[in-house]
Amino acid sequence: MTPRRSLTKDMKAIGGRGWLVLSLPLTLFMTIWIFAVGATTAYTDPFHYSVEASVATSESAIVFADVRTEKRVVAMTFDDGPDPRWTPSILDALIESGSTATFFVIGRNVTANPAITRDLAASGMEIANHTQDHVDFHDANLPEQLDQIRNCSRSIKEVGVEEADYFRPPKGVLPFGSVQAFRQEGRPTVLWDVSVERRDESDDEIVERVLASVHPGSIILAHDGGIPNRAKTVRVIPRILKGLSALGYEVVSVSELLDTE
């Protein structure tokens, strides 16, 4: 799939008066959007979304990407699993470091890997919803989006695991008209403000960037499934966890992070 270009990048390319004319309606739109849902997302590189703005930071929020807290605590999250190639190694690293995390699972992967899903839950990890089939919400209407969420929830329940209320849309795609519907479903949407994976970075560069980017209340995104090879993630996660500990951070699940407010 060819990623959508950032609107901001497109307008910067215009330059001069064109940028000034277009920036005014953009600013108005962004202000309305931020106050309406708490956060917005946009591509910042060809492969990853990152959060451009985050203001809603409590459990009652519709959308949040971090939590305002003075405590040195961050939430670690993993998307797209469980996957027998990567999830067990990541779980081992979390257990060894005394950390917890939230796993935003794909329902079909839960059905295919029930034992791994149960191992995650039994180890104190939080299991949350990442849709049944990881569909692009740009290409799905609201009933289809809600079906994806409900079917994932059903898949989690069928393997005997308790599901957290939180939801993360695939690729961070959050259609404006869907936000309130997700909230009415009891699904506060969790985004992120720090992303682990970057295809163009070495292991050392990833670790250095993540440790330099976190702040108290950050929500960190990583993946234990998805693309064919997550070996780089498996390698850097233990180093990131060790580095966070050296900086005085406790690494927890989303629910635990919210409890620190």
- Reported as a single tens digit per residue, the pLDDT across 52-62 is 333 333 344 58
134 assigned to active site: no
193 assigned to active site: no
Q: Is the pLDDT of residue 251 over 50?
A: yes
Whole-number pLDDT of residue 177: 82
- Is there a contact between 58 and 200 (Cβ–Cβ < 8 Å)? no
- For helices 231-246 and 87-97, what crossing angle results, to 10°? 10
CA–CA separation, 26 vs 92, rounded Å? Answer: 45
Residue 51 lies in a domain: no
Mean pLDDT (whole number) for 3-18: 29
CA–CA separation, 205 vs 27, rounded Å? Answer: 33
CA–CA separation, 116 vs 125, rounded Å? Answer: 11
130, 193, 223, 224: the catalytic one is: 223
Whole-number pLDDT of residue 184: 84
Residue 191 lies in a domain: yes
When comparing pLDDT for 16 and 250, which is higher? 250
- Is there a contact between 132 and 167 (Cβ–Cβ < 8 Å)? no
66, 79, 83, 224: the catalytic one is: 79
Whole-number pLDDT of residue 254: 97
Mean pLDDT of the chain: 81
Whole-number pLDDT of residue 61: 54
Residue 219 lies in a domain: yes
Q: Is the pLDDT of residue 237 over 70?
A: yes
Question: Which of 5-19, 31-45, 160-174, 210-224 is the least confident region?
Answer: 5-19
* Domains contained in the chain, number: 1
Q: Specify the pairing of strand 49-54 against strand 194-195.
A: unpaired
Residue 170 lies in a domain: yes
What percent of the chain shows pLDDT beyond 70? Answer: 76
Residue 201 lies in a domain: yes
CATH of the domain at 111: 3.20.20.370
CA–CA separation, 191 vs 180, rounded Å? Answer: 16
Q: Which domain holds residue 76?
A: 60-258
Residue 148 lies in a domain: yes
